[in-house]
Amino acid sequence: MLYYPWMSIIKKGLCLMDIISIIENKKRGLALTKEQIAFFVRGAADHSIPDYQLAALLMAIRLKGMDARETADLTMAMAASGDMLSPDVGGVPVDKHSTGGVGDTTTLVLAPLVAACGGKVLKMSGRGLGHTGGTLDKLESIPGMRVSLPEEDFLRIVRTVGCAVVSQSGQLAPADKTLYALRDVTATVDSIPLIVSSILSKKFAGGAKAIVLDVKTGSGALMPTLEASIELAQAMVDIGDHAGRRITAVVSGMEEPLGSHVGNALEVKEAIDILSGRAKGPLRDVSLFLGAQMLIASGLAEDVSGAAAMLEDALDSGRGLGKLKEMIAAQGGDPRVCDDATLLPQAPLQRPVLAREGGFLAHVDGTALGLAAQRMGAGRIAKEDVIDPAVGFVMKKRIGDAIRPGDEICTLHAKDEASAKEAEERILSALTLSPDPQPRATLLYALVTPGKVTRL
């Protein structure tokens, strides 16, 4: 007897349905039923629904939205589309997730720092979604680094080292793996229901009991306005609370790159510089605030001041950098990169971009900077694109800085002069100067907990 994917739905007592009618319903703005959501999630997981039909549904969801009940149903269906871990890691399994941004390298700073304070950080990360590489792309710039690990190896590393950062396995939330890749190339990244369900389904399936979310706001973020960012944070915190997970969300600024380095190997280098004590600045400050929330959520600290003191001690003592070395070695990478950054991929062309006029840096188009990096090869345009780990740029100026003609705006790390010239024009066009002094960009806006938004 022939078997078709919809037969399992009939056996479970659900009515027969088809993807076209589901697309049609959402196109007209109708709420999808729990059964309809389960149908298309299962089709995404087992690939019985073609990509072009899933892409059409994603666009309909992006344009028409989903209510709270639909978003919760989508999240839980995606989490249950594969294995659900209940990991024993010798402590509270804690995870952190950022909604993404330019130069956002907090995971590479946070995971080893929290582990150095006794935390158990089990993190499943993604690849580039939008204009720059994801955490996995950054890690894979380290020679030998493996991000695809069997579940038992992943959990063993978390138990022994205290942290591990790996790719989402094919058995964990497989529906999300399909939809995540499609969102990247169909302009449906910035949809709250799709963001919420993608992030939380992986966290629930991966077994995290405490979760800290870094929701970016600003020109370089998924959510360009503060109101939309807080709405996204509240949606995720509420669904997490309903599912019995301890979730805290921090709304942080992305008016400019968080770190000065943009590009995969370059961002690894900046994380190492921070952990070694050679670099300070916004990336370090935001990382410490998020890390404090992770320690509190794990029950290792009672308040922000106590948690911050623990993290500062892990930095000053070198234990944070030591944990990064341990994690890299445990995942097959070369830990010597922490002492010699030249072991990371190096771009063949490095040259400065010089200011053509003077003033005070008033505005940075973060998305434009991200696209400049993408065009250099640091991000993906199509999901099958191969990322160049060496390329990118290092910004020398931040919002509020005074700039004189001829000052170095950034240093390009490019594969050739043609791509460097294109990046130079894109970067200069992304910066707005003012004749008047300008305030620094805001780093932290709000802390969101169940039923409460605290402005920072």
pLDDT digits (tens, 9 = 90+) for 235-283: 999 888 888 788 999 999 988 999 999 999 999 999 999 999 999 999 9
Whether the predicted pLDDT of 1 surpasses 80 = no
| Same structural domain, 364 and 302 | no
In this structure, the answer to whether residues 327 and 362 fall within a common structural domain is no
228 and 364, same domain (yes or no): no
* Structure confidence at residue 189 as a pLDDT band (50, 70, 90): confident
* Residue for token pair 């991929």: 345
| Domain match, 392 and 354 both | yes
pLDDT at position 98, please?
86
Rounded Cα distance between 79 and 210, Å, is 16
pLDDT tier at 455, thresholds 50, 70, 90 = very high
**Residue 139 corresponds to which amino acid?**
L
Q: For the chain, give the percent of residues with pLDDT over 70.
A: 94
State the CATH number of the domain containing residue 105: 3.40.1030.10
Query: Which amino acid type is present at position 9?
Result: I
The reply to whether 356 and 262 lie within a common domain is: no
Per annotation, catalytic residue among 96, 97, 138, 261:
97
Q: Which residues have C-beta within 8 Å of that of residue 162, sequence separation ≥ 6?
A: 112, 114, 115, 116, 118, 119, 120, 121, 323
Is 217 a member of any domain? yes
* Residues 33 and 169 both lie in one domain: no
- Contact call for residues 342 and 272 (beta carbons, < 8 A): no
The single residue of 73, 95, 176, 214 carrying the catalytic annotation is 176
pLDDT at 183 over 70: yes
Whether residue 172 contacts residue 206, with contact meaning beta carbons closer than 8 Å, is answered with: yes
Q: Is 242 a catalytic residue?
A: no
Give a yes or no: residue 53 inside a domain. Answer: yes
pLDDT value at 381 more than 50: yes
Amino acid at 92: V
Active site residue 202: yes
Q: Which is catalytic among the residues 26, 183, 397, 413?
A: 183
310 backbone dihedrals φ, ψ, rounded to 5°: -65, -45
The total of structural domains in the chain comes to 3
Beta bridge partners of 97: 213
Cα 258 from chain centroid?
A: 13
Select which of 123, 127, 138, 202 is catalytic.
202
Are residues 260 and 386 located together in one domain of the fold? Answer: no
Same domain, 47 and 105: no
pLDDT over threshold 90, residue 17: no
CA dist., res. 114 & res. 295, Å (int): 7
Which position among 98, 125, 167, 198 bears the catalytic label? 198
CA 211 – CA 283 distance, rounded (Å): 20
Same domain, 194 and 261: yes
Q: Is 198 a catalytic residue?
A: yes
Q: Any residues with CB less than 8 A from the CB of 88 and at least 6 apart, and which?
A: 155, 159
Same domain, 127 and 185: yes
Torsion angle of C-alpha atoms 252, 255, 256, 262, degrees rounded to 10: 60
Decide if 265 is inside a domain: yes
Distance CA 421, CA 37 (A): 47
- Which residue range is the domain that position 135 belongs to? 93-341+444-455
83 is catalytic: no
Total Cβ atoms within 10 A of residue 305: 9
pTM of the model: 0.85
Please indicate, yes or no, whether residues 321 and 414 belong to a single structural domain of this protein: no
Query: Do 378 and 276 reside in the same domain of the chain?
Result: no
- Write out pLDDT tens, residues 64-96: 999 989 999 999 999 999 988 888 899 999 999
Pairing of strands 359-364, 431-434: antiparallel
* Residues 368-378 pLDDT 10s: 998 999 999 99
Identify the H or E element spanning 37. Answer: helix 34-46
Q: 105: helix, coil or strand?
A: coil
**Nearest Cα to Cα of residue 189 among 138, 131, 135:** 131
Active site residue 97: yes
